[in-house]
């Protein structure tokens, strides 16, 4: 049910202004587990964890209590020269979970900022070592946030084209987009050839490159492009061969999402820098962390010159309320052995997702851990894309909302990324509602 009397002064993110006029945003009032409830008390199954942040469910009693208790004591203290107890405890807990070697944690506000910090650390690291390396390498289809620096290393045409001329120099290797393999190969015969393009860049520009940034295992915003572990292995191997720093952007996939605590743990390699955000606070408050290996941090040690200071720090860095949420979240993850304890639920989720293959418009089904996605096409045999103006996925999402299912597609990709507290029954219901929404939309589409 839509709310009326909304101020028209709000400018919404990633949203056509016309869509807002036709369909004003639903005013959510409260949440519980995987459900959100609007002001009229109508429930919506949040199939995407509100942009992937809600990993333990909405209004988790333990996290709520932790934030409340902290609010009674101290809401904020600046982080240069001061720190709060929950920030210390969060650092301790996180240190115990990180892949071996990632020993230093720099807190900031959100995923984009965690990436900005990683890029700046890499630039300053090389400057401190006396090497002139100021270029970055990313992958086509990458999304690392939408501040200018983060956009410079991302490459999704609809988000980035407008701004591209203004960016710092970045180079892009192929996207590991298996359904539409850039090398025209089938999965069975793939040997990570898509990363030949990465090697070409390293061969040509290697000595100017500060770091290579990538989303391990899944390119999220590009449409949940799940790619094989061998591709991730090859990225690490090439970076190691050419002496390039690795930045693993785990903002979307960190904290259990792909079935390992960190997606990088699907391989043996540990990145030089890793970006974390979203699920870090269970989706309660903005907080992020850029974690780095000791050899990176060492370059910043010492009193002089002032270039050894890392010149970054936002007003809300290490905010105590956000840290209290993070402390509670990490405590729960640790105690409940997430993600190992989710193996059964994840297997059920993967199977249930395949029920969407009954529709001819479903061209590809991809999944990793508790991420599931289907790419909609005009023709399954030829993989011909849907005409952009059909906005079919968008219409399916609108229909789903009427049925009480909250999904928000990425282009022609419908995806599911619920909180881990979802039960098998609710997973079945989620895909049942998705099927009804698709069927109804197609019936309407065919009738016009």
Output 283 or 399, the one with its CB closest to ligand PLP: 283
Instruction: Output the smallest distance, CB 107 to ligand PLP, in A.
Output: 14
Q: Does 220 bind ligand PLP (CB under 6 A)?
A: yes
The span of 56-64, 107-115, 260-268, 328-336 binding ligand PLP (CB under 6 A) equals: 107-115
Secondary structure of residue 39 in the 3-state scheme: coil
- Location of structure tokens 């997430």: 338
Residue of this chain nearest to ligand PLP (CB atom): 111
The gap from C-alpha 337 to its chain's centroid, in whole angstroms, comes to: 21
Instruction: Output the smallest distance, CB 229 to ligand PLP, in A.
Output: 18
Instruction: Output the smallest distance, CB 112 to ligand PLP, in A.
Output: 3
Please give the structure tokens belonging to residue 51.
């942009």
Please give the structure tokens belonging to residue 229.
């572990």
Name the DSSP class of 385: P
Instruction: Output the smallest distance, CB 119 to ligand PLP, in A.
Output: 12
Span 298-327, contacts to ligand PLP by CB under 6 A = none
Among 252, 296, 352, 361, binds ligand PLP (CB under 6 A): 252
Q: Does 339 bind ligand PLP (CB under 6 A)?
A: no
Span 112-141, contacts to ligand PLP by CB under 6 A = 112, 115
What's the rounded Cα separation, in Å, for the pair 183 and 324?
Answer: 47
- According to DSSP, the residues that pair with 226 across neighbouring strands are 218
**CB of 356 within 8 A of CB of 427?**
no
Q: Does 215 bind ligand PLP (CB under 6 A)?
A: yes
Among 57, 87, 110, 245, binds ligand PLP (CB under 6 A): 110
**CB of 273 within 8 A of CB of 306?**
no
The span of 4-12, 109-117, 329-337, 385-393 binding ligand PLP (CB under 6 A) equals: 109-117
Cα–Cα distances in Å, from 243 out to 209, 362, 364? Answer: 9, 41, 36
What's the rounded Cα separation, in Å, for the pair 135 and 208?
Answer: 6
Among 277, 324, 333, 433, binds ligand PLP (CB under 6 A): 277
Helix axes 229-242, 196-205, angle to 10 degrees: 10
Q: Measure the N-to-C terminal CA separation of the chain; round to a whole number of Å.
A: 26
- Give the alpha-carbon dihedral of 345, 350, 353, 359, to 10 degrees: -160
Output 251 or 292, the one with its CB closest to ligand PLP: 251
Q: Which is it for the CA torsion 54, 57, 59, 60, positive or negative?
A: negative
Instruction: Output the smallest distance, CB 111 to ligand PLP, in A.
Output: 2
| Site track 141-180 with ligand PLP (rule: CB under 6 A), x = hit | --xxx-----------------------------------
Instruction: Output the smallest distance, CB 244 to ligand PLP, in A.
Output: 19
Binding interface with ligand PLP (CB under 6 A): 110-112, 115, 143-145, 215, 220-221, 249, 251-252, 277
């Amino acid at each position: 049910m839509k709310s009326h009397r909304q101020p028209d002064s709000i400018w919404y993110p990633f949203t056509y202004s016309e869509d807002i006029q036709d369909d004003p945003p639903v005013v959510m009032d409260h949440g519980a587990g995987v459900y959100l409830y609007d002001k009229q008390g109508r429930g919506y199954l949040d199939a995407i964890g509100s942009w992937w942040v809600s990993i333990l469910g909405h209004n988790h009693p333990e996290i709520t209590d932790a934030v409340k208790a902290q609010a009674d004591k101290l809401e904020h203290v600046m982080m240069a020269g001061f720190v709060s107890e929950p920030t210390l405890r969060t650092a301790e807990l996180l240190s115990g979970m990180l892949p071996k070697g990632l020993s230093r944690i720099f807190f900031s506000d959100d995923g984009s900022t965690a990436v900005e910090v990683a890029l700046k650390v890499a630039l300053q690291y090389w400057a401190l070592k006396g090497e002139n390396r100021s270029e970055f390498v990313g992958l086509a289809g990458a999304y690392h946030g939408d501040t200018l620096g983060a956009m410079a290393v991302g490459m999704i045409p609809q988000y980035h084209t407008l701004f591209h001329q203004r960016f710092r120099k970045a180079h892009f290797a192929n996207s590991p987009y298996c359904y539409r393999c850039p090398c025209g190969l089938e999965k069975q015969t793939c040997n990570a050839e898509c990363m030949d393009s990465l090697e070409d860049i390293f061969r040509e520009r290697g000595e100017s490159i500060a770091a290579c940034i990538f989303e391990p295992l899944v390119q999220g915003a590009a449409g949940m492009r799940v790619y094989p572990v061998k591709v991730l292995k090859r990225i690490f191997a090439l970076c190691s061969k050419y002496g390039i720093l690795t930045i693993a952007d785990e903002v979307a996939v960190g904290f259990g999402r792909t079935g390992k605590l960190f997606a990088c743990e699907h391989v043996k390699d540990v990145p030089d820098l890793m970006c974390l955000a979203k699920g870090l606070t269970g989706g309660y408050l903005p907080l992020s962390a850029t974690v780095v290996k000791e050899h990176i941090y060492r370059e910043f040690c010492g009193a002089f010159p002032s270039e050894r200071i890392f010149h970054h720090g936002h007003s809300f860095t290490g905010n105590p309320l956000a840290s209290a949420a993070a402390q509670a979240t990490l405590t729960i993850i640790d105690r409940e052995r997430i993600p190992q304890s989710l193996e059964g639920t994840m297997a059920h989720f993967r199977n249930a997702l395949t029920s969407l293959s009954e529709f001819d418009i479903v061209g590809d089904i991809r999944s990793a851990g508790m991420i599931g996605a289907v790419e909609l096409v005009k023709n399954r045999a030829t993989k011909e894309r849907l005409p952009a103006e059909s906005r079919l996925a968008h219409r399916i999402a609108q229909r789903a909302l009427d049925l009480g299912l909250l999904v928000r597609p990425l282009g022609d990709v419908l995806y599911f990324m619920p909180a881990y507290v979802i039960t098998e029954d609710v997973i079945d219901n989620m895909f049942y509602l998705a099927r009804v929404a698709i069927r109804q939309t197609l019936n309407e589409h065919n009738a016009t």
